[in-house]
Structure 1
């Protein structure tokens, strides 16, 4: 592990701990769409900047690992968003991932870190660092969009009753 990947690992760990802690307990879902995209887009932006700053030239192996990582991130985001629990309380919407969502997130992280390890062994540095942040951001953005969609449908059903 190089010195440059240590800060990335610490950022990913801090983000994962914060997100898991927030999403395991019931949290009010902000009515603003900014709540859905703000954090994940910041992560994606930082990851893209790191890839750009490292002057990465993409080989076929780089692209393959990036595509696999993105696919895993999106599938896990959809799955964890679908199993998330959404409730309406006193006119406000609350959500949490619960244990099934936590299991999906843990499986996603194990697979994604495994891809980073494979990339490291193959000498494909793009699978680490910024790509981890882009992948995590894409996962959280997808998950948040699914949860927001569930909340919107719940609010629509509530107003039609």
Structure 2
């Protein structure tokens, strides 16, 4: 593990923990609520910056791992967003992941970290660090978009016409 890898890992862990704690408890959601997508977009941006800065020459293994990581992230994001609970209370929309969403997130993180290990075995240069940040950010952003879609649908169900 290089000296630059530890700060990356700590940033990823801190953001994932903060987002999970927030999403496991009931939180008010507004369609314009930047808190839902701000963290994931920052995580993706930092990850892309790190990938661009340190890995200009990508190999087939690197590209394969990036694509597989992105696909897994999107599938897990859609799945956890779909099982999220969305409720309308006193004219406001609230959401949380609940235990099924937590299970999907934990399974995703285990698979994603396993993919990092496989990448290291095959000599990939982008197995961890920036690629991990982009993948987790994409997962959380996808989850956020699905939750916002459910929230919009919930508001429309209860709005008198």
After TM superposition, the score normalised by the length of structure 2 is: 0.95
Question: SS in structure 2 opposite 1:125?
Answer: coil
Aligned ranges for residues 31-42 of structure 1 at < 5 Å? 31-32=31-32, 34-42=34-42
Contact kept, 8 Å, 1:50 with 1:130, in 2: the verdict is: yes
Contact kept, 8 Å, 2:116 with 2:127, in 1: the verdict is: yes
Aligned ranges for residues 122-137 of structure 1 at < 5 Å? 122-137=122-137
| Residue in 2 that maps onto 1:119 | 119
| Residue in 1 that maps onto 2:55 | 55
How many Å apart are 1:41 and its aligned residue?
1.0
Question: SS in structure 2 opposite 1:126?
Answer: coil
Question: SS in structure 1 opposite 2:95?
Answer: strand
2:28 is aligned with 1:21: no
Aligned ranges for residues 55-94 of structure 1 at < 5 Å? 55-94=55-94
The runs of 5 or more residues in structure 2 that have no matched partner are none
How many Å apart are 1:84 and its aligned residue?
0.2
Q: Distance in 2 between matches of 1:160 and 1:145?
A: 25
Contact kept, 8 Å, 1:56 with 1:126, in 2: the verdict is: no
The runs of 5 or more residues in structure 1 that have no matched partner are none
Moved over 4 A (4+): none
**Alignment root-mean-square deviation, CA:** 1.2
Cα deviation digits, residues 65-99 of structure 1 (max 9, x gap):
10100000000000000000000111111000000
